[in-house]
Amino acid sequence: MLDKHAKLERNALAFVFAIIFVASIGGIVEIAPLFTIDETVEEVEDMRVYTPLEVAGRNIYIREGCYACHSQMIRTLQDEVERYGPYSLAVESQYDHPMLWGSKRTGPDLARIGEKYSDAWHVAHLINPRDVVPSSVMPSYAWLQRNTLKYEDLGLHLSALRKVGVPYTDEMIENAAQDAYGQTRPDSDGADGFLERYGEDSNVSAFDGDPNRITEMDALVAYLQILGHLTDVAQQTSSPEQQTSNLANGD
Amino acid sequence: MTKPERDPYTGLMTTGHEWNGIKELMTPVPGVVKFFLAITILTAVLFWILFPTWPYGTGYTKGILNIDQRGLVEEDLTRSAALRATWEQKFSTTEFAQLEADEEAMALVRTHGARLFEDNCSACHGINADGGPGFPSLIDDQWLWGGDAETINETLRVGINTQHEDTRFGEMPAFGDQGMLDLKQRRALTSFVISLSRPDELDQKNMERLPEGKELFAENCASCHGDNGKGIKDVGAPNLTDSFWIYGGNADTIQATLKHGRKGVMPYFEQRLGEADRRLLTLYVRDMGAQKNE
């Protein structure tokens, strides 16, 4: 045995391969099987894709580093479920490339923030968090309201996402820019085409309060308002007990 | 490789390795470390048996304890819901009026309501429920849709201008943006609206606009705000004759409201909060207002 080791130590290439093999055992055992185990990602019928505007908002979320202070992962712990809602399921981030689960919470978890507050609140809060939450330590993101959104190339973003498995249709990719525009203009023809492609339940709204411009604020608020609403499966699988009450249990 | 030999200085054996005359002392891992290493490995084997561990193709070994995190959290939630049920149940089964007369119930409302309010309502309505620009105060006894307990509870359930299927719907049209009223007409209306609550603020120029404003009000506004401007709660249209304003009552803000319209959103909480929690919050909100006005 010791002799063989001496031989291996003297063969640089073989030693490199031996190191790679040993170092990857953890991954082979813990990660690789997740690709074959049936339970890893739940199968749901009602899972919808991010709209082009929401994709743009997601890109802004990543650009501004929101994930550094906000997680998007409600863990299977009682206090988290009581505060934030049903624990996160893998399928809910099925179309997240990359996923934004995060691991640090300076601010609250955002996995189910969608529809918890109004668009107007999000806009006021992003412009100056202290205006609505006096104790907040979040920075101001007022420029999002001034920056016009670059939406012409959203089709390319969608087709890149399709390459990694998000089921966008040719039609969605072709009309991505118009759909981003239509989603912010409730009374326009663009909104009709958008709803036809993404479903009647999609949010159409002048998210930033100004229907005449499409800003980065529009995109980010659209994204925040869909968090937790890509599928209703988490609500359905949770037990009735937890639906009847959301009180923190801290006394 | 040379033969292991005894090192004359330390008295220990060498390993037998030699690198350009440098030899290595044989200092093996202490027995106690080996012992705990063995314990660790045994523990691992025990865990393989008890807990989910080994993957095979499309599944994995579940372990004989059959534990999973989701099951554990469901158990915790069921247990705490059962604990709460002892005092919480009466909030979903008792009439509001009866609860408000019940000091014991209201004490619960004040402790638990505060926490619910902070997490769900304070972001918009403020930690003291006194509102802010665009977000109404809840303690001024002025209500868009009505301030009795059943109405507040229903507003909490379905929200205002939301995705909920039973949502309350209220919208102030954008008279300017949609070309329904021109600037001159909007100015006249603004003067008239100010005259409803603060007539002494108007100067001569504004006074002259009042007849036109009054006529326009009757044509465009009275259907929602009422003939006398006192508001109609069924459509969530605010009273314009008092000193309470959500967006602001100065001329510039009224102008902006007339031009761009308003469509405030109150989220719905049917999905987020259970019935008992919503009713408890209703009581809490009414109680805050009552304490303020005492």
Q: What is the mean pLDDT of residues B66-71?
A: 88
The verdict on a CB contact (< 8 Å) between A33 and B132 is: no
Q: Where are the alpha helices (DSSP H) in chain B?
A: 31-50, 69-93, 96-101, 103-120, 122-125, 149-158, 183-197, 204-216, 222-225, 251-260, 275-293
Pair A113, A15 in one domain: no
The verdict on a CB contact (< 8 Å) between B74 and A239 is: yes
| Inter-residue long-range contacts of B194-200, CB under 8 Å, 24+ positions, other chains counted | B194/B249, B194/B251, B194/B254, B196/B229, B196/B240, B196/B241, B197/B240, B197/B241, B197/B242, B197/B243, B197/B249, B198/B243, B198/B249
**Residues A91, A47: contact at Cβ < 8 Å?**
yes
pLDDT surpasses 60 at A243: no
Q: What angle do CA B195, B196, B198 make, to 5 degrees?
A: 60
Pair B158, B96 in one domain: yes
Question: C-alpha B32: how far from its chain's center?
Answer: 55
The values of phi and psi at residue B232, to 5°, are -130, 115
The verdict on a CB contact (< 8 Å) between B265 and A246 is: no
Residue A86 placed within a domain: yes
Q: Tell me which residue has tokens 């049209």.
A: B173
The verdict on a CB contact (< 8 Å) between A116 and B272 is: yes
Tell me if the bond preceding A108 is cis, omega within 30° of 0. no
Q: Which residues of A touch B256 (CB under 8 A)?
A: none
Pair B154, B204 in one domain: no
End-to-end CA distance of chain B: 96
d(CA B201, CA A189): 44
Q: Which value does ipTM take for this structure?
A: 0.82
The Cβ-side half-sphere exposure at B65, using a 13 Å CA radius, reads 13
Residue B216 placed within a domain: yes
B54 to chain A: nearest residue by CA? A29
Pair A227, A162 in one domain: yes
End-to-end CA distance of chain A: 62
Query: Rounded to the nearest 10 degrees, what angle do helices A52-63 and A154-163 cross at?
Result: 90
Nearest to A247 among B1, B116, B134 (CB): B116
Supply the range of the domain harboring residue B220: 183-260
Nearest to B60 among A33, A82, A203 (CB): A33
pLDDT surpasses 80 at B293: no
Question: How far is A156 from chain B, CA to nearest CA, in Å?
Answer: 30
Confidence band, pLDDT 50/70/90 cuts, at residue B184:
very high
Residue A248 placed within a domain: no
Residue B238 placed within a domain: yes
Q: Which residues of A touch B78 (CB under 8 A)?
A: 239, 241-242
A32 to chain B: nearest residue by CA? B55
Pair A125, A221 in one domain: yes
Work out the percent of chain B whose per-residue pLDDT is above 70. 99
How do beta strands B55-56 and B59-60 pair?
A: antiparallel
Size of interface A-B (CB pairs under 8 A): 109
The Cβ-side half-sphere exposure at B213, using a 13 Å CA radius, reads 21
The verdict on a CB contact (< 8 Å) between A245 and B274 is: yes
Pair B250, B283 in one domain: no
Question: How far is B74 from chain A, CA to nearest CA, in Å?
Answer: 7
**Residues A69, A105: contact at Cβ < 8 Å?**
yes
Residue-level pLDDT at A14: 87
Q: What angle do CA B84, B85, B90 make, to 5 degrees?
A: 115
Residue B3 placed within a domain: no
Pair B196, B86 in one domain: no
Residue-level pLDDT at A238: 52
**Residues A87, A75: contact at Cβ < 8 Å?**
yes
Pair B151, B281 in one domain: yes
Pair A144, A94 in one domain: yes
Pair B39, B100 in one domain: no
Query: pLDDT tens, B251-265?
Result: 999 999 999 999 999
Pair B140, B276 in one domain: yes
Pair A199, A171 in one domain: yes
Closest CA to B143 of B250, B275, B266, B276: B266
Pair A13, A123 in one domain: no
pLDDT surpasses 60 at A199: yes
Residue-level pLDDT at A240: 41
What Rg value do the Cα atoms of chain B yield, rounded?
Answer: 36
Mutate which of A34, A80, A118, A123 to disrupt the B interface (most B C-beta within 10 Å)?
A118
Pair B250, B193 in one domain: yes
Sequence-ordered list of residues with C-beta below 8 angstroms from that of B246, at least 6 positions apart, any chain: B131, B134, B135, B136, B238, B262, B264
DSSP annotation of B242 reads S
Sequence-ordered list of residues with C-beta below 8 angstroms from that of A152, at least 6 positions apart, any chain: A177
The verdict on a CB contact (< 8 Å) between A241 and B82 is: yes
pLDDT surpasses 80 at A244: no
Residue A46 placed within a domain: no
Pair A29, A141 in one domain: no
* CB-based burial, A22-52: b 16+ in 10 Å, e otherwise: eeeeeeeeeeebeeeeeeeebebeebebbbb
Nearest to B271 among A29, A118, A235 (CB): A235
Nearest to A239 among B78, B266, B272 (CB): B78
Pair B215, B83 in one domain: no
d(CA B137, CA B129): 6
Pair B161, B196 in one domain: no
Residue A25 placed within a domain: yes
Which range in A185-189, B39-43, B53-57, B265-269 is most confidently predicted, on average pLDDT?
A: B39-43
Pair B161, B44 in one domain: no
Residue B5 placed within a domain: no
What's the CATH code of the domain at B126?
1.10.760.10
Residue B177 placed within a domain: no
A82 to chain B: nearest residue by CA? B77
Sequence-ordered list of residues with C-beta below 8 angstroms from that of B96, at least 6 positions apart, any chain: B149, B150, B153, B279, B282, B283
Query: pLDDT tens, A102-142?
Result: 989 999 999 999 999 999 999 999 999 999 998 999 999 99
Closest CA to A123 of A216, A203, A38, A191: A216
DSSP per-residue letters across B33-60: HHHHHHHHHHHHHHHHHHSS--EETTEE
Q: Among A136-150, A230-244, B269-283, which stretch is predicted with the lowest mean pLDDT?
A: A230-244
Pair A21, A72 in one domain: no
Q: What is the dihedral of CA B276, B282, B286, B288, to 10 degrees?
A: 80
Token pair for residue A80? 């988290």
Residue A249 placed within a domain: no
Pair A79, A15 in one domain: no
C-alpha distances in angstroms, B92 versus A85, B88, B105, B150? 20, 7, 12, 12
Nearest to A244 among B1, B81, B267 (CB): B81
Number of domains in chain B: 3
Q: Which position has the higher pLDDT, B39 or A41?
A: B39
Residue-level pLDDT at A172: 95
Query: pLDDT tens, B106-154?
Result: 999 999 999 999 989 999 999 899 988 889 999 998 999 999 999 999 9
Pair B195, B213 in one domain: yes
Work out the percent of chain B whose per-residue pLDDT is above 90. 63
C-alpha distances in angstroms, A86 versus A59, A89, A182, A233? 26, 9, 32, 10
Q: Among A139-143, A242-246, B89-93, which stretch is predicted with the lowest mean pLDDT?
A: A242-246
Pair A24, A80 in one domain: no
Confidence band, pLDDT 50/70/90 cuts, at residue A45:
confident
Residue B86 placed within a domain: yes
> In this structure, is the dihedral angle defined by the CA atoms of residues A202, B163, B262 and B132, taken in order, positive or negative?
negative
Supply the range of the domain harboring residue A118: 52-235
**Taking every pair of C-alpha atoms in chain A, what is the biggest distance, in angstroms?**
80
Pair A168, A222 in one domain: yes
Residue-level pLDDT at A184: 92
Pair A121, A215 in one domain: yes
Token pair for residue B260? 């761009």
Number of domains in chain A: 2
